[in-house]
Structure 1
Amino acid sequence: MDHNPPMPQPFAAPVLYTPDGTPYYAAPAPLTAPPALYQPTPPLPAPVQYAHPALYAPAPLPQQPAPALGRDPWPARLLAGGIGVGGAGLGLGFLLQTLAAATTAIGFLAAAIGVLYLLKNGGGGGRGGQGAVNVHVNVTNRNR
């Protein structure tokens, strides 16, 4: 329920007609002079015609449909923009998540290849391929 007092309606002047059928608007107060009839403005002069109108004529602008009366389209445009921004953010989130997963997989693959290389080539110290400990024993007895 609306608790606000009703707004006063603007005064709509009644339309009166002259004997020949021409409409005019009556003023709300008594007239001090006879009502003035509507006189249309004279038409504008015709534009200058050039020898080659295709060379000088501007390109026609696309006609935009007028919005329906009684309906302002800005809320729909804001809603569409918000849905578009949200969709773009969601898409960007999926893109970054996929990129992170791909770089993690590439890192794991590089680590596995490195471990295999070290196992194959014996990177544990000493000479390669002979193990980590190289023991060589030479015993001679000089007291004999």
Structure 2
Amino acid sequence: MDHTTNPQPFAAPVLYTPDGTPYYAHPAPLTAPPALYHPAAALPLPAQYAAPVLQLPAPLAQAPAVPVRDPWPARLVAGGVGIGGAGIGIGFLAQALAAATTALGFVTAGLAVVWLLKTTSGGGGRGGQGAVNVRVNVTNRNR
């Protein structure tokens, strides 16, 4: 590995101020004394960077409270819209309830018809008993 083509980075020596604060020295001669680092909170901002002072306007004099008219027409209209909306909602509810009960009635009627067809036979009498053995003895006494 050739170190001549890739020289090692320069490491600046560390010097200290009389109070013991470290700073990095550069091989070139300094044109001014080294500046010490001060946190931003400790330094005051220059005038061009200072926040502008906001001047709030003087509070306006409060006008005396004027009694406001009761908006009874608006309340009547709002109540009417509310009642109308409730009426429409109740109408939809009643319609859905009627449809459900109608469907339930149709299902019940269908089940009743099926039960009746299953339990009764085509003829009259005691229905649904199946085949019955009948023995009939007829004698002619007039002989």
Task: Indicate the TM-score class for this superposition, using the shorter chain for normalisation.
Answer: 0.3 to 0.5
Q: TM-score, normalised by structure 1?
A: 0.40
Report the structure number with the largest CA radius of gyration: 2
